[in-house]
Amino acid sequence: MSHIAPGHHPAMTPTTKRKLVWGVTGAAAGALLLAALVWGPWYFEGHHVRDNRLAPSAGIIVTGFRTMLVALAAGAIGALGLYYTGKNHRLARKQFAQSQDQFSLAQQQFEHAQEQFRHTQTRDREQAELTLEAQVTNRYVEAIKILSSDNITQRLGGIYSLERIMRDSVKDRRTVLEVLSAFIRNPPRPEEKDKGEPAKPEDPWMEPPDITVDVQAALTVIARRDYAEGTESIDLTASSLRRANLQRARLAGINLQGSDLCLAQMDQVDLAGADLSDAVMRGAQMQGAVLRKASLKGADLRNANLANADLAEAVLASVQLEDVNGLKVPQLVRALIDSSTELSEDLASNGIVKDRIAKVEKGRKRATQRGFERSGIIRCGLSADERARREQVPFEAVDMCAEDATEREVSGPYGSRGSWRGAPTAACG
């Protein structure tokens, strides 16, 4: 409990003083008004009130005087109220202006904080990208080291690590695909146990070895890459892929020129636009394969199975097809064949096949006469300027394709309502 020393009074705040003054003033004004109402009429109008001649009007005089006093008091109170109302209005406006200034300052601080946040986000994102790139680089280097290991299990780990890198880093896709392609073209070979003993020459009559597990794994990684972005040109020239499993593989546009694909499982493989020139595909299973616009010039397809394969506009010049299984006339007449294509007796004697060969030969002869022969084939079904760009010949050299378009009745799944239409959808003769 606090104690106040005798003779000492606590200091009054300005607000308390102001309230005390206004309280005393109000009390004094009220007392003065009450006194004026009671004694005022007698003090100011007493000589009229006491006059006997004005006695009947004395009440009116007193009432009028008191009414005047009440009106004056009411006016004073109203004026005082208006004064304080105006004062409060000015104070409210001042406070509103201060609030606006504070709001503007808070908004500026918020915008500054947002800018700092964006800057921090950008910096963190750049740092994360740099960190990710460093991690990818380290993983890539480690994968390359593992890929050169003598242990096949470690090589498989390196191959699948490269696949993960290809999925995580878009800009490293091209590099990874080139590394895997080089690995398939030049697979590791077991070294001689005795370095001093000279290596024995390979027997030219010995059957080449089948594809190894690690090469098959690398080939599978390439085949199942993201097809939406898989427009890269894959070079597997002269690769040894005997007995490879390429079922349903997505290899459109791949370069397999001169590769060994004997006995390969290639059912429903997508090789549209691929280069299979001089490839050896004896005994390959290619049921339902897509070979649209692929180049098979000089390829060996003996004993291969081409049942239901799509050969539309496929180049079959100098291809060995005499012992091919499952090949039907509707498939063959959609391809680009000529007299160099080696066919079985049944196919070679077919009238529709002969007409197709004649048309291709005629087209080649016409191109030769104009001096713009390119493998004896002119592609059609495109605009003249596009054909000129693809064939790399002048515009006027290919403006001939649509004039020999014909329609023939052919049975089978490849005709439209039992018919086959020649150029310009394939190649004109």
What is the amino acid identity at position 382? L
**CB neighbourhood size of 90 (10 A):** 10
Output the pLDDT for position 242: 95
Output the pLDDT for position 370: 63
Output the pLDDT for position 305: 96
- pLDDT greater than 90 at residue 293: yes
- pLDDT greater than 60 at residue 201: no
Given a contact cutoff of 8 angstroms between Cβ atoms, the answer to whether 332 and 315 are in contact is no
Of 40, 38, 17, 25, the C-alpha closest to 76 is 25
For 316-367, write each residue's pLDDT tens digit: 999 988 889 999 999 999 999 998 999 988 888 899 999 999 998 887 777 7
Tokens 């799509």, located at residue? 310
- Reported confidence tier of residue 406, pLDDT bands at 50, 70, 90: very low
For 247-287, write each residue's pLDDT tens digit: 999 999 999 999 999 999 999 999 999 999 999 999 999 99
Between 292 and 209, name the one with better pLDDT.
292
Given a contact cutoff of 8 angstroms between Cβ atoms, the answer to whether 42 and 65 are in contact is no
Given a contact cutoff of 8 angstroms between Cβ atoms, the answer to whether 316 and 296 are in contact is yes
SS3 24: helix
- pLDDT greater than 60 at residue 419: no
Q: How far, in Å, are 268, 331, 422 from residue 291 at the CA level?
A: 10, 11, 18
- Reported confidence tier of residue 197, pLDDT bands at 50, 70, 90: very low
- Total H helices, total E strands in the chain: 9, 4
SS3 419: strand
> For 98-118, what is the mean pLDDT?
91
Question: Distance (Å, rounded) from C-alpha 189 to C-alpha 199?
Answer: 13
- pLDDT greater than 50 at residue 313: yes
Q: How far, in Å, are 251, 285, 308 from residue 289 at the CA level?
A: 11, 9, 7
The token duo for 273 is: 């636009």
Question: Distance (Å, rounded) from C-alpha 354 to C-alpha 404?
Answer: 16
> For 228-248, what is the mean pLDDT?
84
Question: Distance (Å, rounded) from C-alpha 281 to C-alpha 259?
Answer: 8
Of 131, 163, 157, the C-alpha closest to 145 is 157
DSSP 237-261: TT-B-TT-B-TT-B-TT-B-TT-B-
Output the pLDDT for position 56: 58
Output the pLDDT for position 311: 95
Return the beta strands (E) in 260-353 as ranges. Answer: 320-321, 342-343
Q: Picking from 51-65, 301-315, 394-408, which range would have the lowest pLDDT averaged per residue?
A: 394-408
The token duo for 381 is: 């079904």
The token duo for 303 is: 């004993």
- pLDDT greater than 60 at residue 230: no
The alpha carbon of 165 is separated from its chain's Cα centroid by a whole number of angstroms, namely 18
What is the amino acid identity at position 232? E
Q: Report strand pairing: 419-421 vs 342-343.
A: unpaired
Output the pLDDT for position 168: 83
Output the pLDDT for position 231: 57
Question: Distance (Å, rounded) from C-alpha 33 to C-alpha 388?
Answer: 115
- Reported confidence tier of residue 88, pLDDT bands at 50, 70, 90: confident
Output the pLDDT for position 278: 94
Given a contact cutoff of 8 angstroms between Cβ atoms, the answer to whether 159 and 179 are in contact is no
Output the pLDDT for position 41: 64
Average pLDDT over the chain reads 76
What is the amino acid identity at position 202? E
- pLDDT greater than 60 at residue 120: yes
Contacts (Cβ under 8 Å, ≥6 apart) of 412: 328, 329, 330, 331
Given a contact cutoff of 8 angstroms between Cβ atoms, the answer to whether 274 and 252 are in contact is yes
The token duo for 142 is: 């480690």
The torsion angles phi and psi of 109, rounded to 5 degrees, stand at -65, -40
Which of 267-296 are b and which e, b meaning 16 or more Cβ less than 10 Å from the residue's Cβ?
bebbbbbbbbbbbbbbbbbbbbbbbbbbbb
For 18-60, write each residue's pLDDT tens digit: 777 777 777 777 777 777 666 666 666 665 555 555 555 556 6
Output the pLDDT for position 222: 93
Question: Distance (Å, rounded) from C-alpha 90 to C-alpha 1?
Answer: 44
The verdict on whether omega for the bond into residue 394 sits within 30 degrees of 0, i.e. cis, is no
What pTM was computed for the model? 0.58
